[in-house]
């Protein structure tokens, strides 16, 4: 496979040769995951795992009943190893918390496999599946923050369409989905970001930089929460949904003793070239603007870390700082930065923003997406400092806080009032007629940065710039001839006979629409299982084009 | 370093913490203040209309199982 890169050659030549880089500006391979809250108000005792299963299966049913293919085979877990750790050791299964074993098929109480689909791979290249007791959408791989927003928001619509499909069934109980991160009792669930970074980048260097950035970026990316403490034992409002659920600085866990920097190392890509940075600290954002900045700012910071050009900001007490910052929506809280003194989160973020600006200037990076992010980042920091209310049309936490304060004033409520907790919850309700975020959007009170049409299209079509194109389009066109699909592999069995042919798509930037247009072009009809000369010809062509990715024997 | 161990000038103790209103009392551009507040009033009317009525029970019932 020839080496492919996102970085234009002229720019790559300007980068220091001793610093391996796999992205530039805001351009980087990224995918977003959302674990949705799931609730059936009329059936409080309903099993969350079973509801999640029903939801996933409902979406599979919806697609197939509309004549759309979906890869509903068992997920190809050959490559999945969630217990391998970035620091180079394997955690013995016996000491892993049972809930960490995401690569086990679900079983019922009697230990028998449940014969429902736990996992779908969709024509848009995403994965929609049951993770623990939540439905989860993992977006296809994208290469810039705008695309990341589009396919993330497509996931929200997909999940809601699944719930609507259940609601259409006779006698079905209403199932409500929430794009939030806590039930404000004791439980948190994630909205993870995945960024590919250069494998040769020293992991300790990476995590040392990320701790300060992650502890402070919440003032822009937070989704807002009513209640303080992981057990919700104090009243009030805080900036982040997730902050109170973090206990460590660096570690492998994602469900207990959560770390600010997660070390899970499953690149789902050429391991010699890439590490997948698995970011578990973020809040799920309804706001497109918040999601866009979350991905854009983080991508920029990673580009600087790869080049060794990010100033070091070392928090004296990162976990405490994370929570102190979250607990103060006035943004006045200062945290101790070693060697720099006491600083507000705004001041810390300015260090990163200014470094990003300097980096773009130095290398002459002037593409619109990179400039838009760095400029918006500066503007948001200025407004947070001087007039945060102006950000109520952009940032989740500010918009939510404005509504909460309006309600408190109007009805003379204190923070313990259930109405405020209801508002917090309903902000994230994915039903467009109920969700308060959608209410604001429909009134023009919340900015959007992508169109309804773009989101609509991304429900069924993959991004063109990554291997997700081949994954999604293969499912749509050749689904009848696929035996298995995962992030980095495809199993083909033409006409359901003969030996399986296995193809590995380890390079996320190969097998894109540029490589596979024609055969996998949009609008081409599905290939049936009928063994006709035409179908034979198309399959032969497909296998020929896939030949460079062919692997023989299983690893 | 000596500065490291001092409390910062603006740091407040959690229990004393007053959560300030982010809506500025400052100096909005002329003519926009009343329009903004009318907008917010109308928005709150709509929120009041769409918010689940049985808030206490609804919020209590929203219990999730562990996640990542």
| Assembly ipTM | 0.87
Q: Is A438 left (phi over 0), alpha (psi -120 to 50) or beta?
A: alpha
- The pLDDT of residue A111 is 54
Beta-carbon pairs below 8 A across chains A and B: 153
pLDDT in tens, chain A (555 residues): 456 899 999 999 999 999 999 999 999 999 999 999 999 998 877 888 888 888 888 888 888 888 888 876 444 444 444 333 333 333 333 223 333 334 444 444 555 444 467 788 999 999 999 887 899 999 999 999 999 999 999 999 999 999 998 888 766 778 999 999 999 999 999 999 999 999 999 999 999 999 999 999 999 999 999 999 999 999 999 999 999 999 999 998 888 899 999 998 889 999 999 999 999 999 999 999 999 999 999 999 999 999 999 999 999 999 999 999 999 999 999 999 999 999 999 999 999 999 999 999 999 999 999 999 999 999 999 999 999 999 999 999 999 999 999 999 999 999 999 999 999 999 999 999 999 999 999 999 999 999 999 999 999 999 999 999 999 999 999 998 998 899 999 999 898 888 889 999 999 999 999 988 788 999 889 999 899 999 999 999 999 999 999 998 654
- Are B55 and A402 in contact (CB < 8 Å)? no
- Beta carbons of A467 and A508 less than 8 angstroms apart: yes
- Are A35 and B67 in contact (CB < 8 Å)? yes
Give the closest-approach CA distance of A28 to chain B in angstroms.
Answer: 24
Comparing CB atoms, the residue among B22, B48, B67 nearest residue A132 is B67
How many residues are recorded in chain B? 68
- Beta carbons of A40 and A375 less than 8 angstroms apart: no
Sheet holding A119-121, edge to edge: A119-121, A127-131, A134-138, A30-35, A193-198, A274-279
d(CA A106, CA A164): 24
- Are B17 and A236 in contact (CB < 8 Å)? yes
- The pLDDT of residue A419 is 97
Which top CATH class is A9-101+116-457? alpha beta
Answer whether A262 touches B (CB < 8 Å): no
Report chain A residues whose CB lies below 8 A from the CB of B10. Answer: 332-334
- B19-58 pLDDT, tens digit per residue, is 444 444 433 444 456 677 788 999 999 999 999 999 999 9
- The pLDDT of residue B5 is 46
Query: What are the DSSP calls for A189-253, one per residue?
Result: ----EEEEEETTS-HHHHHHHHHHHHHHTHHHH---EEEESTT--EEEEES-SSGGGEEEEEES-
d(CA A168, CA A210): 45
Three-state DSSP class for A275? Answer: strand
Three-state DSSP class for A484? Answer: strand
Domain limits, chain A = 9-101+116-457, 468-551
Q: What is the CA radius of gyration of chain A?
A: 23
Which of A128, A231, A137 lies closest to A190, judged by CA?
A137
Report chain B residues whose CB lies below 8 A from the CB of A436. Answer: 47, 50-51
- The pLDDT of residue A74 is 46
- Are B22 and A236 in contact (CB < 8 Å)? no
- Are B9 and A342 in contact (CB < 8 Å)? yes
d(CA A78, CA A164): 33
Distance of CA A13 to the CA centre of its chain: 31
d(CA A544, CA A519): 11
CA pseudo-torsion sign A376, A382, A385, A386: negative
- Beta carbons of A435 and A427 less than 8 angstroms apart: yes
Taking residue A483's Cβ as centre, other Cβ atoms within 10 Å add up to: 17
Catalytic residue numbers of A, as ranges: 131
B-proximal residues of A, 77-96, CB under 8 Å: none
d(CA A157, CA A452): 11
Residues 6+ apart with CB under 8 A from A451: none
- Are A39 and B3 in contact (CB < 8 Å)? no
Distance of CA A242 to the CA centre of its chain: 15
Report chain A residues whose CB lies below 8 A from the CB of B3. Answer: 341-342
* Interface residue of A186, A330, A417, A433 to substitute, partner B, most B CBs within 10 Å: A330
């Amino acid at each position: 496979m020839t080496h492919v890169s996102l970085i234009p050659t002229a720019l790559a030549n300007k980068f220091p040769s001793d610093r391996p880089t796999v992205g530039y500006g805001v351009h980087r391979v990224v995918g977003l995951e959302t674990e949705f809250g799931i609730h059936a108000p009329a059936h409080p005792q309903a099993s969350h795992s079973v509801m999640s299963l029903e939801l996933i299966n409902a979406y599979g049913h919806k697609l197939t009943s509309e004549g759309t293919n979906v890869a509903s085979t068992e997920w190809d877990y050959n490559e999945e190893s969630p217990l391998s750790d970035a620091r180079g050791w394997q955690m013995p299964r016996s000491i892993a918390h049972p809930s960490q074993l995401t690569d086990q098929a679900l079983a019922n109480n009697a230990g028998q496999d449940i014969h429902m689909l736990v996992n779908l791979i969709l024509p848009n290249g995403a994965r929609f599946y049951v993770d623990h007791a939540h439905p989860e959408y993992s977006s296809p791989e994208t290469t810039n923050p705008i695309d990341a927003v589009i396919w993330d928001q497509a996931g929200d619509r997909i999940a809601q369409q699944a719930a609507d499909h259940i609601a259409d069934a006779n006698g079905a109980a209403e199932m409500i989905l929430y794009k939030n991160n806590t039930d404000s009792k004791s439980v948190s669930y994630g909205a993870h970001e995945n960024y590919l970074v250069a494998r040769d980048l020293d992991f300790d260097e990476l995590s040392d930089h990320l701790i300060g950035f992650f502890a402070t970026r919440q003032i822009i990316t937070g989704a807002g929460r009513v209640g303080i403490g992981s057990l919700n034992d104090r009243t009030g409002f805080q900036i982040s949904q997730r902050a109170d659920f973090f206990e460590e600085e660096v570690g492998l866990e994602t469900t207990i003793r959560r770390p600010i920097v997660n070390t899970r190392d499953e690149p789902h890509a050429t391991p010699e070239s890439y590490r997948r940075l698995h970011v578990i600290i973020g809040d799920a954002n309804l706001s497109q603007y918040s999601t866009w900045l979350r991905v854009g700012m983080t991508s920029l910071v990673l580009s600087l870390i790869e080049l060794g050009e990010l100033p070091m900001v070392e928090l004296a007490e990162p976990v405490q700082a994370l929570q102190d910052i979250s607990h103060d929506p006035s943004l006045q809280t200062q945290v101790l930065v070693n060697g720099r003194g006491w600083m507000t989160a705004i001041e810390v973020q300015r260090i990163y923003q200014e470094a990003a600006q300097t980096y773009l200037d130095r290398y002459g990076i002037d593409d619109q997406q990179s400039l838009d992010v760095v400029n918006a980042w500066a503007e948001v920091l200025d407004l947070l400092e001087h007039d945060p209310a102006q950000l109520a049309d952009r940032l989740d936490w500010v918009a939510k806080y404005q509504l909460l304060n309006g309600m408190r004033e109007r009805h003379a409520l204190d923070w313990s009032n259930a109405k405020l907790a209801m508002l917090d919850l309903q902000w994230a309700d994915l039903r467009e007629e109920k969700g308060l975020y959608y209410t604001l959007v429909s009134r023009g009170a919340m900015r959007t940065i992508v169109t309804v049409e773009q989101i609509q299209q991304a429900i069924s079509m993959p991004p063109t710039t990554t291997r997700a194109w081949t994954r999604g389009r293969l499912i749509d066109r050749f689904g009848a001839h696929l035996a298995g699909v995962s992030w980095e592999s495809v199993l083909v069995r033409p006409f359901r006979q003969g030996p399986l042919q296995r193809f590995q798509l380890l390079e996320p930037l190969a097998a894109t629409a540029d490589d596979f247009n024609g055969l996998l072009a949009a609008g081409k009809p599905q290939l049936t299982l009928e063994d006709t000369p035409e179908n034979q010809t198309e399959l032969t062509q497909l296998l020929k084009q896939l030949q460079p990715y062919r692997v023989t024997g299983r690893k | 370093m000596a500065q490291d161990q001092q409390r910062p000038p603006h740091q407040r103790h959690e229990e004393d913490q007053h959560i300030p209103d982010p809506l500025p009392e400052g100096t909005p551009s002329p003519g926009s203040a009343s329009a903004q507040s009318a907008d917010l009033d109308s928005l709150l009317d709509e929120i009041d209309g769409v918010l689940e009525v049985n808030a206490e029970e609804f919020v209590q019932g929203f219990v999730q199982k562990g996640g990542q």
